[in-house]
């Protein structure tokens, strides 16, 4: 027979009104093995807390969004992003200047050729960038990272003039510590080897007794203190012997070069670096080639003849040494 689900009435109390019995139509089919019916009372929540199955409660409404303040447009998906605020131009310039100062004091530096002692390799008016790291003293760690090395024969070097360190010279290194140097009839010998010097420039065939036969002949003009010391203490069997920590430098224009023949050796500590590139070349007036000062006539000449006197073929030209065995 079908099983009936009996509902037990709640206790009579003011808070719990009487609940009518379930209708007879609420009948479940009996299983093959009917389970025992639990006749224990069932607690039913008060009518006020019951949830209606006919209609669910509506979801609470979202609070209205606050209106944007006056004067500020609403930001939507189509609105462009706000512009980045301008940077502080003064601070950027300060950082740029400090960076350039760091580079010019430790990495590269600009120089200009004031004389013709290195013609035809370097001309008057050539503006150079000099690599100051090439011959810099190597540190315990940096020597494995940066290409430090000692000056070699044939390198073009930039150095402080030993007689006046406020001046800067550019010459070719032809002798390193321990080398024996001599010149015989304009021909340079290093360690008894006659050098092939394609870079050398001889303007005339005139033979000067001291300049072109060095150091066997007596000087025909006053020498600097370094030159006198060189002839007195570093000449052996008619050859100049380069002492430790010193270098012998000569100009490629041998007839017009104030070099180690006249003022002695270049101390290692005085070597600044080597030229990397001619970034600009300008043909300066003949009467102003021996000065580095920028004068009013120079400025006028530069403004007036910038395009006609600029040596365009020399600009942006790399500067290379010539290996001497």
- 127 pLDDT higher than 90: yes
Mean pLDDT of 160-172: 95
Higher pLDDT, 294 or 187: 187
- In order of their start, the domains of the chain are 91-318 (2.10.109.10)
Determine whether 171 is an active site residue. Answer: yes
Determine whether 186 is an active site residue. Answer: no
Mean pLDDT of 209-237: 95
Q: pLDDT per residue over 245-294, tens digit each?
A: 999 999 999 999 999 999 999 999 999 999 999 999 998 765 555 555 56
Higher pLDDT, 240 or 46: 240
Question: Hey, is 171 helix, strand or coil?
Answer: strand
Mean pLDDT of 63-86: 52
Identify which of 61, 178, 129 has the alpha carbon closest to the alpha carbon of residue 279: 129
Q: pLDDT per residue over 6-31, tens digit each?
A: 444 444 444 444 544 444 444 444 44
Strands (DSSP E) along 126-270, which ranges?
A: 126-131, 156-161, 164-175, 180-184, 187-190, 193-194, 213-214, 235-236, 239-241, 246-250, 266-267
Query: Considering the chain, what percentage of its residues have pLDDT values greater than 70?
Result: 61
Catalytic residue among 115, 117, 260, 281: 117
> How do strand 187-190 and strand 193-194 relate by DSSP bridges?
antiparallel
* CA 275 – CA 108 distance, rounded (Å): 9
> Which pLDDT belongs to residue 247?
98
Catalytic residue among 115, 132, 171, 260: 171
């Amino acid at each position: 027979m079908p099983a009936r689900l009996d509902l037990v009435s709640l206790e009579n109390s003011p808070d719990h009104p009487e609940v009518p019995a379930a209708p007879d139509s609420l009948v479940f089919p009996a299983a093959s093995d009917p389970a025992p019916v639990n006749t224990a009372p069932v607690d039913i929540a008060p009518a006020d807390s019951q949830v209606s199955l006919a209609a669910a409660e509506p979801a609470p409404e979202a609070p209205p969004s606050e209106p944007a303040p006056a004067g500020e447009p609403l930001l939507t998906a189509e609105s462009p992003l706000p512009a980045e605020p301008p940077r502080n131009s003064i601070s950027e310039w300060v950082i740029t200047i400090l960076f350039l100062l760091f580079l010019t004091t430790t990495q590269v530096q600009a120089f200009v050729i004031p004389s013709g002692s290195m013609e035809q390799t370097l001309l008057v008016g050539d503006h150079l960038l000099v690599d100051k790291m090439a011959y810099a003293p190597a540190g315990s760690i940096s020597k494995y990272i940066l290409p430090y090395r000692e000056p070699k024969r044939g390198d073009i070097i930039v150095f402080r003039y030993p007689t006046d360190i406020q001046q800067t010279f550019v010459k070719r290194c032809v002798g390193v510590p321990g080398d024996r140097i001599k010149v015989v009839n304009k021909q340079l010998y290093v360690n008894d080897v006659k050098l092939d010097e394609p870079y050398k420039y001889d303007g005339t065939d005139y033979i000067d007794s001291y300049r072109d036969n060095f150091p066997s002949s007596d000087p025909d003009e006053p020498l600097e203190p370094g030159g006198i010391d060189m002839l007195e203490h570093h000449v052996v069997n008619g050859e100049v012997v380069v002492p430790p920590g010193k270098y012998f430098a000569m100009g490629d224009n041998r007839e017009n070069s104030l070099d180690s023949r006249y003022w002695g050796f270049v101390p290692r500590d005085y070597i600044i670096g080597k030229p990397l590139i001619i970034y600009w070349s300008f043909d300066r007036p003949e009467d102003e080639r021996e000065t580095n000062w920028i004068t009013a006539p120079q400025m006028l000449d530069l403004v007036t003849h910038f395009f006609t006197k600029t040596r365009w073929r020399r600009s942006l030209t790399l500067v290379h040494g010539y290996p001497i065995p």
